[in-house]
Amino acid sequence: MKLNRNVRWQTEGLTVGSFNCQGISLYKIKTILDTHTLDVLCVQETWLPKSEVKLDIPGYQVYEERRDKDRRGGIAVIIRKGVKIRRYVGNEYAQVVGI
């Protein structure tokens, strides 16, 4: 029996991926999420500048941290909606997500 991707993690556990993207784009993220069945995607080197605009990926919760001064760096944790986040702590160098 094939489970719905949105509830599969409740019975089979979470699938987690990591990606050093060297400059994030919605195309890169969509390609990964469409190709792999991931509940959590950790992204390094997003290279996004500080701004008010936040990443918005349909079907996912996005927690991101951008560098204040440097053009490079930046990290994000992209989590499928429906996965309950118990705690989030982050800065421009590290993120911790309690699920």
- Domain assignment present for 68: yes
- Domain assignment present for 16: yes
Tokens of 34: 């469409």
* Full residue range of the structural domain in which residue 76 is found: 8-84
Question: Position of tokens 């990591």?
Answer: 18
- Domain assignment present for 14: yes
- Domain assignment present for 64: yes
pLDDT of residue 26: 86
pLDDT of residue 31: 93
- Domain assignment present for 79: yes
Secondary structure class of 90 (helix, strand, coil): strand
pLDDT of residue 14: 87
The domain total for the chain is 1
Instruction: Report residues of the chain scoring pLDDT below 50.
Output: 1
Q: Which residues pair with 83 in a beta bridge?
A: none
- Domain assignment present for 96: no
- Domain assignment present for 65: yes
Cα–Cα distance measured from residue 44 to residue 64, given in angstroms and rounded to the nearest whole number? 10
- Domain assignment present for 44: yes
pLDDT of residue 95: 78
Tokens of 15: 């699938």
What pTM value is reported for the model? Answer: 0.81
